[in-house]
Amino acid sequence: MKKQTKQRSPWSWVPTLYFAQGLPYVAVMTISVIMYKRLGISNTDIALYTSWLYLPWVIKPFWSPFVDLLKTKRWWVVTMQLLVGAGFAGIAFTIPTTEFFQWTLAVFWLVAFSSATHDIAADGFYMLALNTHEQAMYVGIRSTFYRVATIVGQGLLIIVAGALESSTGLKPLQLQVDASPDYSTTIVLPMEESIGGENPLLSDNTVAVDEYFFTSYPETIELGTTPVPTDSVAMLKAFAAEHNTMYGFTMKEESSTNAKEGGESWWSRSVGTPLGNFIRDKFGERRDVTEDVGTYTGSAQLVAIKLSKAPEEGEKMVLNTRLNKGDKSLSLVYGERLEFTESNWDKPAYMIIQADSKLDHSVSAQFEGLSGNVSFAWSITFFILAGFFIAIMLYHRFILPRPDSDKPAKEVTAGTIFKEFFETFASFFKKKQVWVAIAFMLLYRFPEAQLVKLISPFLLDSKEIGGLGLTTGQVGLVYGTVGIIGLTLGGIIGGFVAARGGLKKWLWPMAWSISLTCATFVYLSVVQPDSLFVINLCVFIEQFGYGFGFTAYMLYMIYFSEGEHKTSHYAICTAFMALGMMLPGMAAGWLQELIGYKHFFYWIMICCAATIAVTAFIKVDPSFGKKEVAKN
């Protein structure tokens, strides 16, 4: 058996295992939101109910001992992949039902718990099936394929659903949008009392036609790039929302914020406000703002949409519109989903296209309105996911190695399981240097936990308030593309060098890498360069440094988890990892608003001292990760 394990290359199962680990997470947390939006669920309900789906990943350490005590990690991996596949099939079957929202949410919960359990087992199996040298070698590979799963889930699967939708309905509505400094930025509201004028979609004189199709006015939307008053765009949105709600094209969106009566809370009045004022007065950036940048926003234009003839009685035709191609600085800010029935088809529905307020050059984009069978399209998409997981389960059932160390705990009975459960938890806190290790897990990424929350806002915010003033499309390139490449390369290279010299040798270079590269944002905030090349280079360096430095963090969690209950101990480590990202990130936006971007990035550099300090206290076996100590 040991010989078989040695001959099985990790390349045959590590990439597929972590691809299978990432896909359910993105399906539950991201794809579900898009699906519910396309199926007409309100933003309030989507935000409320899908947010709770993250809970299984938060509390997974509490049942990780069961994965350690019962069966093998290999059995858990294969079984959970089967359950995830069955869950996706359940979602596919329940989407066409009348109570689809309740049923699919229930199944998404089951998928989430199965996926979180799969994460526990997969991480434990990784540590059992590979020696320490191989664990260091493939730590970057596993992270890379987890990210690939995220990209496939957010990109390819959405494209598949869109293609199915477009092939099952009317001819897609094409909206061409051009923006240029030469075009007018005048905000115009249609005059309903003069609907027979130049806008043919506002005319009541309908012409009999034999087929269904959607038409738009204007056919080509021309947007100026000069900013317009925010109040004007707000008025435009209010008009469109009132009109669409009145005629049943959209549902009225209820506010999700319930303000408490009685004014400020005790915490805000006694702690939050005084502390904020102190920080702002003592450490806030002094910046002379010549104009109120919040007064102006990007120009916007109404687009009227009309259906060619009346639907059958009781029939509903839904138009879902999205960006198909072009610059993301042009966006559909209202009217993404419109419903047409026999009672409103002869009236125009409205959507609003808006340009980014920082856009100062000519760009274009094409939006596509799809009116196919949305339920059918998403059912097929989830059937594809289900089929993939059944296939990956069968593949892993054959290809995963069978390490001798992967075995259930001995003599576990119904009477002793809870005793073993609590002893497994207790054994974590009895490890040597446990409090130093917890401090390391909480503070090693203390600077990055704050920085990552403000990268996109910093790139987007105008230069008047300390940002770089990039458009949405430019941020997609800088952070969403170049940044991800840097992060991925840093992780892969970090894994390879750690496998050559061991974790102890590369611990300090990685700690300095994750710390010093934050200085690129100090440079960007001070200089505020116009060159996209310079901005891309700085973001690439910082994200590469983070990816390279994060390797040490991942390997230390593996190292600290070594022992009898390594699976559950690693799950506990990941809980501290999540906490170390969540708590600093919660306060990052509040702090930046008080002191400004430049001083915030100065603060990030000060926080790097925490990374260096906790690194100095941990102890690592010099042989951990080195090839020469690999034993099988």
Cβ–Cβ < 8 Å for 555, 139: yes
At residue 181's C-alpha, the angle toward residues 177 and 186, to 5°, is 75
Could you give the percent of the chain with pLDDT greater than 90? 33
pLDDT at 379: 93
What are the tens digits of pLDDT across the range 427-467? 888 888 899 999 999 999 999 989 888 888 888 887 878 88
pLDDT at 267: 60
Cβ–Cβ < 8 Å for 498, 506: yes
Cβ–Cβ < 8 Å for 1, 402: yes
Could you count the other beta carbons within 10 Å of the beta carbon of residue 308?
16
What are the tens digits of pLDDT across the range 116-175? 999 999 988 998 888 888 888 888 888 889 888 988 888 888 888 888 887 887 888 999
The better pLDDT of the pair 384, 405 is held by 384
| Contacts of range 249-252, beta carbons closer than 8 Å, 24 or more positions apart | 249/338, 249/339, 249/340, 249/344, 249/349, 249/350, 250/335, 250/337, 250/338, 250/339, 251/40, 251/42
pLDDT at 436: 92
What are the tens digits of pLDDT across the range 76-105? 999 999 999 999 999 999 999 888 999 999
What are the tens digits of pLDDT across the range 384-393? 999 999 999 9
Domains and their CATH numbers in the chain: 1-168+373-428 (1.20.1250.20), 172-252+272-371 (no CATH), 433-632 (1.20.1250.20)
Phi and psi angles of residue 214, each rounded to the nearest 5 degrees, phi first: -100, 145
Residues 113 and 107: their CA atoms lie apart, in Å, by 10
Residues 362 and 346: their CA atoms lie apart, in Å, by 35
Half-sphere exposure of 56 (CA within 13 A, CB side): 19
What are the tens digits of pLDDT across the range 470-496? 877 778 778 878 888 998 899 899 888
CB neighbour class for 71 (10 Å; exposed up to 12, middle 13-18, buried from 19):
middle
3-state helix, strand, coil in the chain (%, to 5): 60, 10, 30
H or E stretch at 215: strand 214-217
DSSP letter (8 states) at residue 95: T
H or E stretch at 318: strand 317-326
